[in-house]
Amino acid sequence: MSEIIVDVKNVRKIFTSGTKKERKEFSALEAVSFTVSKGEFVSLLGPSGCGKSTLLKIISGLLPASSGVVSISETGTKKAPPFGFVFQDSVLLPWRTAFDNALFPFEIMGSKEKADEARVKELFGLAKLNGFESSYPRQLSGGMKQRVSIVRALSYNPPILLMDEPFGALDAITRDNLNNVLLEIWESTRKTVLFVTHSISEAVYLSDRIIVMGTKPGRVIKEVPVNLPRPRNEDVKLTPEFYASVKELRELLK
């Protein structure tokens, strides 16, 4: 495919615990390597404890790797990181309105242009949040809060979007809705997305490629491409190809 944007090479992560005398080591990630190309939607799929969230945190720089290299060819600007990060919880500041939460990155970076505000406004439309700009987080449902946090992650127009089980805490119906919202946003912005999930069907529905991970130690089992046509909608979930992918992944994760 096209140019490689995220390159993960031999990343290991060892957590140590206990006292200095009796140090216990726990290998969370063992020699993980993969790449993500520009504009690609890639999912990291695995059971809990496989280190997929840890891996995403290493890629974003929130955690250091014990060894190995992560290179991101997009540099971003000096003030803004090259990626937006969506957490499992929305992590909205409760004292700010939805719109001000979405503009929060600009306040941290200390620069905001007129075009930025216009783009956030547009993203609000894409995320179907029109009319909720001046609502406070406590007035919003879980799904809406998560949509605001996606808008915030995209507000400064980063080329990459990192998502750490963003819909894991939502009910199934809201989750399906947000999957569609995310697909729409992705179709119109064509960001490079790295998406962590433990839901097989979610991974198949959204991704171009799925990196399947296993536990003890956390490692990559296999990379599985998803060749379902785009743009996708709910109908694709009823096709034999979709079932075939889900079945293959389920076998891999057994």
Partner 1 sequence: MKKGFRNYLLSGLVFIAILVIWKVAVMVLKTPTHILPPPEAILFRFIKLIETSVLQKSVLATFEEILYGFSSGAALGILFGYILAKLPVLEKALSPYILIMQTAPKISLAPLFVLWFGLGILSKVVLIALVTLFPVMINMILGVRSTEKNYYDLMKVLKAKGWQVMVKLELMNALPYLMTGLRVGLVLSITAAVIGEMMGSKAGLGFLLILGNEMYDITLLLTVIVVISLLSFFLDIAMKKLQEKLLFWHESTVR
Site string (72-91) toward partner 1, x via CB under 8 A: -------xxx-x-x-x-x-x
- Assess contact for 208 and 41: CB atoms under 8 A: yes
What's the closest the beta carbon of residue 90 comes to partner 1, in angstroms? Answer: 9
Cα distance between residue 27 and residue 135, in whole Å:
43
If you write DSSP's letter for every residue of 81-114 in order, what string do you get?
-SEEEE-SS----TTS-HHHHHTHHHHHHT---H
In the chain, DSSP finds a helix count (H) and a strand count (E) of 8, 9
Q: Does 108 bind partner 1 (CB under 8 A)?
A: yes
Neighbouring C-beta atoms of residue 242, cutoff 10 Å: 18
State how beta strands 192-197 and 67-72 pair.
unpaired
In this structure, the chain runs to a length of 254
Cα distance between residue 249 and residue 108, in whole Å:
41
Closest CA to 55 of 85, 117, 4, 13: 13
Stretch that binds partner 1, among 103-111, 190-198, 222-230, 231-239 (CB under 8 A): 103-111
Q: Give the residue, chosen from 40, 52, 56, 105, that forms a contact with partner 1 under the rule CB under 8 A.
A: 105
Sign of CA dihedral 134, 138, 141, 143: positive
Residue 87 or 177 having the CB closest to partner 1? 87
What's the closest the beta carbon of residue 224 comes to partner 1, in angstroms? Answer: 29
Residue 21 or 95 having the CB closest to partner 1? 95
Q: Give the residue, chosen from 1, 62, 118, 169, that forms a contact with partner 1 under the rule CB under 8 A.
A: 62
Q: Give the residue, chosen from 61, 118, 239, 243, that forms a contact with partner 1 under the rule CB under 8 A.
A: 61
Angle ∠(128,182,28) on CA atoms, nearest 5 = 135
Residues 6+ apart with CB under 8 A from 113: none
Q: Does 95 bind partner 1 (CB under 8 A)?
A: yes
Interactions with partner 1, residue window 209-238 (CB under 8 A): none
Stretch that binds partner 1, among 17-25, 113-121, 135-143, 189-197 (CB under 8 A): 135-143
Residue 95 or 227 having the CB closest to partner 1? 95
- Assess contact for 98 and 137: CB atoms under 8 A: yes
Residue 96 or 121 having the CB closest to partner 1? 96
Residue 87 or 201 having the CB closest to partner 1? 87
Site string (137-166) toward partner 1, x via CB under 8 A: xx----------------------------
Q: Does 15 bind partner 1 (CB under 8 A)?
A: no
- The helix (H) or strand (E) run that includes residue 44 is strand 41-45
Which residues form the interface with partner 1 (CB under 8 A)? 57, 60-62, 79-81, 83, 85, 87, 89, 91, 93-96, 104-105, 107-109, 136-138
